[in-house]
Amino acid sequence: MNFFSAKEAQLLELKKALADKEARQLSPLAARSSEGTRRRGEERGDHRLPFATDTDRILHSRSYTRYIDKTQVFYMVRNDHITHRVLHVQLVSKIARTIGRFLGLNEDLIEAIALGHDIGHPPFGHDGEKLLDELCREHGLPSFQHNLQSVIFLEEIEKQGRGLNLTLQVLDGIMCHDGEIHQRMLRPERSKTFADFDREFAAKQQDGKLELSPMTLEGCVVRLADTIAYIGRDIEDAIELGMISRDQLPAEVVEVLGNSNGSMVYRLVTDLIVGGIEGDRIAFSPQVSEALYNLKQFNYQRIYLNPLIKQGIDLIGICYRTMFERYLDDLAGNRADSPIVKEFLAPLEPGYRQRTGDVAVVRDFIAGMTDDYFLRQAAACGCRLPEVRQTLGKKNEP
């Protein structure tokens, strides 16, 4: 008997103690780790509870590693203090776990959903998402949506194409996160099965505007925390880049939420905690919800749709299209020296390409790229690249 075999019984006892602690301390409406359901059975467990195992699998995935150089909002800007995707998901995780702790929810489940929710984002944020969506539709694929692509990476591409075999509760929370939709209240749609999940996934592919509800309160918390994490942080980044000034924030919003990211996060989180869980739902108060909605409108008008943020997107769009067509041609010609073959397909099981099809392979390859890798490959394809800027607003003026 080796060392680990001798310790196994002790570890299983500790695991049982953790499960018993959940049963005693969590809210009756919280998801228990014992409820975690996987698509495929696993022969042997360990001392970790299922949702904690999922967190570790996501953290150690190749997709998570690539968060480090993925755009959150501002791209082609040289400023080390601007939020990237990796910081955003960490902020979502921290904010959501804080809410979950006060409400008696499962923090392991919250963390797994939060850390995995944006893994499917392509290079250059939501603008890149729109470009890739257009190309997918032109080539006969369903619409490209980063939340669905997150599921594809985690279920079909990680582990050489075998997937991470995450629990249904985690995958559902990732698919349903839709942080851009404004909702005052969220109520989980419980009792989903993998068959329900697959039906919702297919329906969402066909209708990007279809609103899905998470199956757990933990998924609902992550969805609201997603907005809390980005709304004020994007304002701070826009101020840093000279796009807006703090005194331009709407007075009616400042009165309720304050004028800094810190005050906004604190007041939004406090509102959810004080409101608590009522009737299997979590909600902002009407006053706070209205202020948050107005702040979102301000961000869209002054930041997300601001022409200053779009500088270079035409060239990036040409790069997307050029690379998409190049890689399709490389696959058709079975060019072994192409990056899509030697760097993406080579480590994957042959069945991945067979069941996915070449157009989807190109989609998956490009969607997984970091911004820097995308630009290197675009340059190799002969594309003209946009210039990197220092600021976007008045700080750029002499």
Tens of each residue's pLDDT in the chain, 398 residues: 455 566 676 777 777 777 777 878 899 999 999 999 999 988 766 778 999 999 999 999 999 999 988 988 888 888 888 888 999 999 999 999 999 999 999 999 999 999 999 999 999 999 999 999 999 999 999 999 999 999 999 999 999 999 999 999 999 999 999 867 788 999 999 999 999 999 999 999 999 999 999 999 999 999 999 999 999 999 999 999 999 999 999 999 999 999 999 999 999 999 999 999 989 999 999 999 999 999 999 999 999 999 988 889 999 999 999 999 999 999 999 999 999 999 999 999 988 999 999 999 999 999 999 999 999 999 999 999 998 887 787 644 33
pLDDT of res. 235: 97
Q: Mark which of 278, 310, 342 sits at the end of a domain.
A: 310
Q: Mark which of 265, 289, 310 sits at the end of a domain.
A: 310
Same domain, 280 and 338: no
Same domain, 262 and 329: no
Same domain, 220 and 320: no
Same domain, 139 and 260: yes
Supply the range of the domain harboring residue 376.
313-392
Same domain, 365 and 219: no
Domain total of the chain: 2
Same domain, 306 and 325: no
Same domain, 378 and 264: no
pLDDT of res. 109: 98
Cβ-contact 176, 46 below 8 angstroms: no
Residue carrying the six token digits 């279809």: 210
Q: How many residues in total does the chain contain?
A: 398
Could you tell me if residue 42 is inside a domain? no
Burial, 24: exposed, middle or buried (Cβ in 10 Å; 0-12, 13-18, 19+)? Answer: exposed
Cβ-contact 152, 158 below 8 angstroms: no
What is the C-alpha separation between 287 and 38, in angstroms, rounded? 40
Same domain, 197 and 57: yes
pLDDT of res. 342: 95
Cβ-contact 386, 312 below 8 angstroms: yes
Which residues have C-beta within 8 Å of that of residue 80, sequence separation ≥ 6?
none
Could you tell me if residue 377 is inside a domain? yes
Own/partner pairs, 323-329, CB within 8 angstroms, 24+ separation: 323/366, 323/374, 323/377, 323/378, 323/381, 323/383, 324/135, 324/139, 324/362, 324/366, 326/381, 327/361, 327/362, 327/365, 327/366, 328/139, 328/358, 328/359, 328/362
pLDDT of res. 1: 47
CATH code for the domain in which residue 160 is found: 1.10.3210.10
Give the amino acid at 10: Q
Q: Mark which of 310, 328, 359 sits at the end of a domain.
A: 310
Same domain, 359 and 290: no
CA–CA–CA angle 311, 63, 377 (5° rounding): 45
Nearest to 351 by CA among 148, 155, 162: 162
What one-character DSSP code corresponds to residue 34? G
What one-character DSSP code corresponds to residue 78? -
Nearest to 315 by CA among 382, 373, 361, 248: 382
Cβ-contact 26, 105 below 8 angstroms: yes
Same domain, 344 and 274: no
Nearest to 226 by CA among 173, 277, 273, 166: 173
Phi, psi torsion values for 7, nearest 5 degrees: -90, -10
Could you tell me if residue 338 is inside a domain? yes
Residue carrying the six token digits 């698509």: 39
Same domain, 331 and 281: no
Same domain, 59 and 119: yes
Nearest to 175 by CA among 190, 154, 206: 154
